[in-house]
Structure 1
Amino acid sequence: MESKSTYLAKLLQSCIASKALSSGKVLHARILRVGLFSDTFLSNNLVQLYSNCGDIVSAHQVFAKMPQKNIFSWNAILAAYCKNRNLQDACCLFLEMPERNTISLNTMISTMLRAGYERQALETYDLIMQQGVKPSHITFTTVFSACGALLDAGCGRKNHGVVIKLGLDDVIRVFDDIDEPNEVTFTTMMGGLAQMNQVKEALEMFRLMLQKGVHVDSVSLSSILGVCAKGGFDERDIGLCNQSHGKQVHTLSIKLGLEGDIHLSNSKLDMYSKIGDMDSAEKVFANMSRHSVVSWNVMIAGYGNKCNSEKAVEYLQRMQCCGYEPDDVTYINMLAACVKSGDVKTGRDIFDSMPCPSLSSWNAILSAYSQNADHEEALKMFRKMQFQYQLPDRTTLAVILSSSAELGLLEAGKQVHAASQKFGFYEDEYVSSGLINVYSKCGKMESSKNVFNKLPKVDVVCWNSMIAGFSINSQDNEAFSFFKQMRQCGFYPSEFSFTTIVSSCAKLSSLSQGRQVHAQIIKDGYEDDIFVGSSLIEMYCKCGNVDQARYFFDIMPSKNTVTWNEMIHGYAQNGYGDEAVSLYKDMITSGEKPDDITFVAVLTGCSHSALIDEGVEIFNSIQQRFGVVPKSDHYTCIIDCLGRAGRFQEVEVILDTMPCKDDPVVWEVVLSSCRIHTNLSLAKRAAEELFRLDPLNSASYVLLANMYSSLGRWEDARAVRHLMSDNRVRKDPGYSWSEHKNDIQNIMENNL
């Protein structure tokens, strides 16, 4: 006969399945009345009942009063907290558990992942793995999702190896031992291999399935289409590229009469959109007898990946006209499309139309403003987010810290710092790197060091942020010191590390240190990196070794606008104007489009080398040939070029027509040229403009007074000096860089 305990347990499980809270409470009372509360199995069921029905308080009360708790009791209350998104209490409970198993681990890390605490999820996983808990496939699904969100390829590769060691090889061996594997077995294997990014093996498995004549259904075809969407295999090994293979699977689905399967059709849409073939995706979509929200979402995401926000909006509007209600994925895909297309206005309109934006949606619109340099609006949106009680995650904080850094807003950075501590991100390397960046941009390197030193674990990004911070604040000796420490601590410098430290060599004109770093760059295999290479060209040019810079420029396998600009600028600054102009022409011939900086560099070369006609020709081509509106820097360069040659009539024509009449630098250049050629009338005009624009700048007074003195016009000179005195303008003292250069050189040699 069935015991009373077993009978009550079955009734409780029925209540759990149907979420019958009232009936469950009646059973709870019955259990107490008959004295069976000490039965751990019944109490565990009560905890699960209240958890499933959302009554977390009652679940906790049952758990707290249990006289005997086992691992299932702890897992039940942990699941209750996690289900209710009470992450703080869940973490405390997880730490208190006398023992943990795979279920405890999976519950905790999957909840952390959903809440945006990817790094904490990985740290928890590492901790529990050290305690000997065996992971499951669910564990690794969560771990790989966290690695993907963090772009942590190293962690992903490490755990890929763990999976293979713990089970994938065994699964393949078991599969090989099966005499007659069916479509379910094959599909499972293909899915597992694809999840582990073993794309080639998954495709070979599908080929084997066809060779064995195993029945192919819509599920197996959807699975292999997902593999084709991933790509990443060698065409020579498989004999088919991902696009052609996907099309062959599409053809096979037609032959098998599976065109009407909506799940399979969505898989085709997904495959075509991910490989960028939106024409084929359009045809599949048009031929579908019916659609789902997933179908529309895939099309919107596909056009988003092609940076075509207009088509994405078109599909959103069609979706709504057809009576489909957009879901959270729809809106996130739309926002992503607008971000990638730089269409922030449409993105904001989409965001404002959302009835209840998710955290991912908030992060998408914040990123849109930040990436398009509208940092003020990003901060406004962050404040709005707080007013609506939407808690941030690490991505939110990192985006806002980036905007705060760009604006130099120290107080905003401090507020985000406080928020990061409040929400538990004070040890997150991603957020900490952003904090270091803010404090560095605001000149608070001591605060940057405090953030860095308090981190229990740092990564190369944090090291790079510190090195860049020192470089930004002209503390190049400290930058070298940290660069040395980073290497001593076992971190390999990245492209960014080398670019920054080479820039420090350039600023200090330290050729010997630059050569040492260059040797390390070659050793570590970064010599072909465009940004590292550009910084090396800058360093050699600033150290006066233009021939070495040009040699390195010529052997670079690829170049971008920055690379060309550095070499042209290097020639210009070292007095090689002809070479600067020649290289500029080579740049245009190569098909590389010049930008604002290119024109400044080549015009500087023309000015320094008295290539007046070439300079005028290039200046006139800026807008006429390249459609670039000249800026004040370009006007300054051409006026300097003409002024040095004494062609003041042309200078005055430019001064009368240029839009940047309130730029003091332009007038300083004019005044300097007038002093050389004793053009007193234009000098007076330039000086008067400078007195208006920058009345406390002593340089304009001194230059004009010296001009009068050189011409013997002593009364006019005294009048200028009296004006300077009346305006309480003080002449700045001069100093010599050479007095300190040797000392800093010694510091660098000791630190590198």
Structure 2
Amino acid sequence: MYVACGSIEDAEKVFDKMPVRSVYPWNALLRGNVVLGGRKYREVLGTFSDMRGLGVDLNVYSFSCLIKSFAGASALFQGLKTHGLLIKNGFLGSDIIRTSLIDMYFKCGKVRLAYRVFEEVEERDVVMWGAMIAGFAHNKLQREALEYTRLMIKEGLEVNSVILTTILPVIGEAWASKLGKEVHAYVIKTKEYSKQLFIQSGLVDMYSKCGDIVSGRKVFYGSKERNAISWTALISGYILNGRLEQALRSIVWMQQEGFKPDLVTVATVLPVCGKLKVLKQGKEIHAYAVKNDFLPNASVSTCLMMMYSKCGLLQYSSRVFDSMEKRNVISWTAMMDSYIDSGCLEEALGVFRSMQLSKHRADSVAMGRISSVCGKLRLLKLGREIHGQILKKDLASVPFVSAELVKMYGSCGAIDKSRFCFDAIPVKGSLTWTAIVEAYGLSGQYGEAINKFKQMISKVISFTVLRHRKLKESPHEGKGKQVISESIDFSLLGEAWKPVSMGYKRRWWDCIALPDDVDGSDEASFRMQIKELAFMSLQLLKAAIFDEECKPLFSLEIYGNIIGMFELNNLDLVVESPVEDYFLYMDDLPLSEKGEAEQTTKPILDALGDDYSICCQGIL
């Protein structure tokens, strides 16, 4: 009872007075510490050690609580040792233990280990499938989460309310609106779920993330019951879709219906006040937060700081920060951001130094922010020290951090260091490519900046083609096949087609500088590869431009660039096969290169059949 009420101290008093203690009260104590979380995770390990020392007969629930504490604390090493202990004691056959292990490995970021535990189970229940789906969602592997949901249904298991609330945000993040409507239909068909408020809120959130706020509103206003959570979901939807004024009005309508905005609602709507610079409403919400005792909460205080900063009242941000009893790394970073946005870079540097002296340690966001400050102030020595801390904390692999380092060295005139950081990044996305282009520009090397931009174009096209192939070729059938997605950034897709649509026409790839790792004697081969990427990207576009599932990849601007590219090259946008376009490009090739080009096209022609081969040979 005391554990369920969150009073662990009273529970411990009752426990200490017990003359005989079986495994059950011990497990209750373990569970209480797990539920409370935070620093209590350490006490779980201490309690478990006491149980082993006193010779208590441990059961699966004892180990389950222990593993859950490791999952909450991301204590991978302790979890691995416990996994070994489970094997030694013969507890690994329990579904409860295996599900807990899957959850722990996912929360520690070890997807492959979780997958391995899952694959060792012959008969899986819906709880274990739910742990896998939730784990993929936790690690931002949306495609895998949806794929495993499909496989679970194929095995004859029904989706329950827990899995529904897990996959709805995933569908929104993947912009899979068609699938979202199918799930919505399933919810309506299953009357039990259609009445549950948290599922209704999940549907509103899903439609909002898919950009369909109209459908989200229909779900919200079609629901007979509402609460603060569903109102907050609608407000978040308005914000996601840029309807900021409507989001502010909704908080008034919410109160008119008799619902009080909770802590999450306040933290959601405060950034809107900052973006719209509506100081009056911001102060009213501040007063409401004080009245309802929300201010000890770090997230609300942090949002207040950012709101006042956006409204130009930096001194108010500073007051809120100084009045915070409990700060975290997010609040420290928010104070730094407030000074940076106001142009007070020296003060931002002072906040960072104070944070370093406190018990809080800078995370990747804070390191990225201070790197940008060093670049703007041209503090090369301090920038190198920050770089050393980033390497020590193993944060250099974070795209945002690595991009800021590249720009920082470029701003300080150390372009060689900037290039070194850039080359050390194994997977280069939009942030890092943009950073190196900007670094060359800041150092005055505009020609090299243009070359880097053109290299970036070819990379984006190649990544697009590779991902499209992965989507088309990955096995959707068969139990136990792991689906691995590549984290590729598509935010530069529009930029990739601009040079073509702006007049480079068919020879734009010849302008791309030869990379350092390509020998001069291999230049002809390199040029051919670049051309090949362009040809294959046409195939991608022809397949994707009319594909409903690919709609999120193509904005109106991207459509404009694609259409411009087709018009400049006299290509028919509605031709079903892209192979003709390939041969149109080949008209520009010298006779000596046409033989090699024919070898390149042969696999494509073989796949499409004789009719296309005859048609395309006629073009030559």
TM-score (norm 1): 0.54
Deviations 1:446-466, CA, capped at 9 Å, x for gaps:
011011111110121111111
Among 247, 253, 260, the residue aligned to 1:485: 253
Report the Cα distance in structure 2 between the residues aligned to 1:330 and 1:728, rounded to whole angstroms.
Answer: 57
CA distance 1:619–1:417, shift in 2 (3 Å): same
Asked if the contact 1:503–1:535 (Cα under 8 Å) also holds between the matched residues in 2, the reply is yes
The yes-or-no answer on 1:579 pairing with 2:347 is: yes
CA distance 1:690–1:310, shift in 2 (3 Å): closer
The yes-or-no answer on 1:513 pairing with 2:281 is: yes
Q: Which residue matches 2:135?
A: 368
Cα shift at 1:666 = 2.1
Asked if the contact 1:246–1:271 (Cα under 8 Å) also holds between the matched residues in 2, the reply is no
- Residue type of the alignment partner of 1:684: G
Deviations 1:217-247, CA, capped at 9 Å, x for gaps:
xxxxxxxxxxxx6585596xxxxx5435424
Report the Cα distance in structure 1 between the residues aligned to 2:380 and 2:261, rounded to whole angstroms.
Answer: 46
Q: Which residue matches 2:60?
A: 296
- Residue type of the alignment partner of 1:265: S
CA distance 1:529–1:300, shift in 2 (3 Å): closer
Q: Which residue matches 1:396?
A: 163
Q: Which residue matches 2:218?
A: 450
Asked if the contact 1:509–1:542 (Cα under 8 Å) also holds between the matched residues in 2, the reply is yes
Among 346, 367, 374, the residue aligned to 1:599: 367
Report the Cα distance in structure 2 between the residues aligned to 1:234 and 1:313, rounded to whole angstroms.
Answer: 27
Asked if the contact 1:304–1:341 (Cα under 8 Å) also holds between the matched residues in 2, the reply is no
Deviations 1:473-528, CA, capped at 9 Å, x for gaps:
21101111211111111111122211111111122233233222222222222122
Among 274, 286, 307, the residue aligned to 1:539: 307
Among 429, 451, 463, the residue aligned to 1:688: 451
- Residue type of the alignment partner of 1:673: L
Report the Cα distance in structure 1 between the residues aligned to 2:204 and 2:397, rounded to whole angstroms.
Answer: 36
Deviations 1:546-582, CA, capped at 9 Å, x for gaps:
1111111111111111111111111112111110111
Report the Cα distance in structure 1 between the residues aligned to 2:440 and 2:7, rounded to whole angstroms.
Answer: 65
The yes-or-no answer on 1:590 pairing with 2:358 is: yes
CA distance 1:683–1:589, shift in 2 (3 Å): same
Return 590-599 or 339-348, whichever deviates more: 339-348
The yes-or-no answer on 1:266 pairing with 2:23 is: yes
* 1:658 match: secondary structure: helix
Deviations 1:639-672, CA, capped at 9 Å, x for gaps:
6556556x3xx12442255235775422552465
Cα shift at 1:402 = 1.9
Cα shift at 1:312 = 4.5
CA distance 1:614–1:457, shift in 2 (3 Å): farther
- Residue type of the alignment partner of 1:402: P
Asked if the contact 1:576–1:605 (Cα under 8 Å) also holds between the matched residues in 2, the reply is no
The yes-or-no answer on 1:654 pairing with 2:414 is: no
Report the Cα distance in structure 1 between the residues aligned to 2:379 and 2:53, rounded to whole angstroms.
Answer: 62
- Residue type of the alignment partner of 2:27: D
Q: Which residue matches 1:465?
A: 233
Asked if the contact 1:644–1:673 (Cα under 8 Å) also holds between the matched residues in 2, the reply is yes
CA distance 1:531–1:404, shift in 2 (3 Å): same
Among 185, 203, 226, the residue aligned to 1:418: 185
CA distance 1:606–1:729, shift in 2 (3 Å): farther
Q: Which residue matches 1:243?
A: 12
* 1:356 match: secondary structure: coil
Asked if the contact 1:440–1:473 (Cα under 8 Å) also holds between the matched residues in 2, the reply is yes
Among 166, 173, 196, the residue aligned to 1:406: 173
Report the Cα distance in structure 2 between the residues aligned to 1:603 and 1:548, rounded to whole angstroms.
Answer: 26
Cα shift at 1:531 = 0.8
Cα shift at 1:587 = 0.7
Among 673, 677, 683, the residue aligned to 2:442: 673
- Residue type of the alignment partner of 2:64: I
Deviations 1:296-322, CA, capped at 9 Å, x for gaps:
3333333433445335434542443xx
Cα shift at 1:419 = 1.8
The yes-or-no answer on 1:495 pairing with 2:259 is: no
Report the Cα distance in structure 1 between the residues aligned to 2:382 and 2:335, rounded to whole angstroms.
Answer: 18
Instruction: Note the 1:100-179 alignment, pairs <5 A.
Output: none
* 5+ long unaligned stretches in structure 2: 34-42, 72-77, 458-494, 504-563, 569-620
- Residue type of the alignment partner of 1:421: I
- Residue type of the alignment partner of 2:339: Y
Q: Which residue matches 1:310?
A: 80
Report the Cα distance in structure 2 between the residues aligned to 1:387 and 1:563, rounded to whole angstroms.
Answer: 46
Report the Cα distance in structure 2 between the residues aligned to 1:635 and 1:404, rounded to whole angstroms.
Answer: 30
Report the Cα distance in structure 1 between the residues aligned to 2:345 and 2:189, rounded to whole angstroms.
Answer: 57
Asked if the contact 1:301–1:334 (Cα under 8 Å) also holds between the matched residues in 2, the reply is no
Cα shift at 1:286 = 7.0
Report the Cα distance in structure 2 between the residues aligned to 1:662 and 1:351, rounded to whole angstroms.
Answer: 32
Report the Cα distance in structure 1 between the residues aligned to 2:429 and 2:566, rounded to whole angstroms.
Answer: 23
Q: Which has the higher contact order (CA 8 A, sep 6+)?
A: 2
CA distance 1:493–1:361, shift in 2 (3 Å): same
Return 294-303 or 427-436, whichever deviates more: 294-303
CA distance 1:544–1:642, shift in 2 (3 Å): farther
Q: Which residue matches 1:741?
A: none
Q: Which residue matches 2:150?
A: 383
Report the Cα distance in structure 2 between the residues aligned to 1:354 and 1:624, rounded to whole angstroms.
Answer: 39
Report the Cα distance in structure 2 between the residues aligned to 1:535 and 1:549, rounded to whole angstroms.
Answer: 10
Cα shift at 1:618 = 4.7
Report the Cα distance in structure 2 between the residues aligned to 1:420 and 1:532, rounded to whole angstroms.
Answer: 34
Asked if the contact 1:296–1:316 (Cα under 8 Å) also holds between the matched residues in 2, the reply is no
Cα shift at 1:443 = 0.9
Report the Cα distance in structure 1 between the residues aligned to 2:60 and 2:367, rounded to whole angstroms.
Answer: 46
Report the Cα distance in structure 2 between the residues aligned to 1:353 and 1:282, rounded to whole angstroms.
Answer: 29
Deviations 1:662-692, CA, capped at 9 Å, x for gaps:
7542255246536xxxx4xx11111232244
CA distance 1:634–1:314, shift in 2 (3 Å): closer
Report the Cα distance in structure 2 between the residues aligned to 1:288 and 1:563, rounded to whole angstroms.
Answer: 45
CA distance 1:524–1:301, shift in 2 (3 Å): closer
Report the Cα distance in structure 2 between the residues aligned to 1:652 and 1:328, rounded to whole angstroms.
Answer: 55
CA distance 1:400–1:546, shift in 2 (3 Å): same
Report the Cα distance in structure 1 between the residues aligned to 2:82 and 2:298, rounded to whole angstroms.
Answer: 34
TM-score (norm 2): 0.64
Report the Cα distance in structure 1 between the residues aligned to 2:333 and 2:159, rounded to whole angstroms.
Answer: 41
* 1:357 match: secondary structure: coil
Asked if the contact 2:205–2:233 (Cα under 8 Å) also holds between the matched residues in 1, the reply is yes
Report the Cα distance in structure 2 between the residues aligned to 1:514 and 1:472, rounded to whole angstroms.
Answer: 19
Cα shift at 1:626 = 3.6
Deviations 1:356-381, CA, capped at 9 Å, x for gaps:
32222322222222223222221111
* 2:22 match: secondary structure: helix
Report the Cα distance in structure 2 between the residues aligned to 1:400 and 1:442, rounded to whole angstroms.
Answer: 13
- Residue type of the alignment partner of 2:137: S
Report the Cα distance in structure 1 between the residues aligned to 2:148 and 2:236, rounded to whole angstroms.
Answer: 28
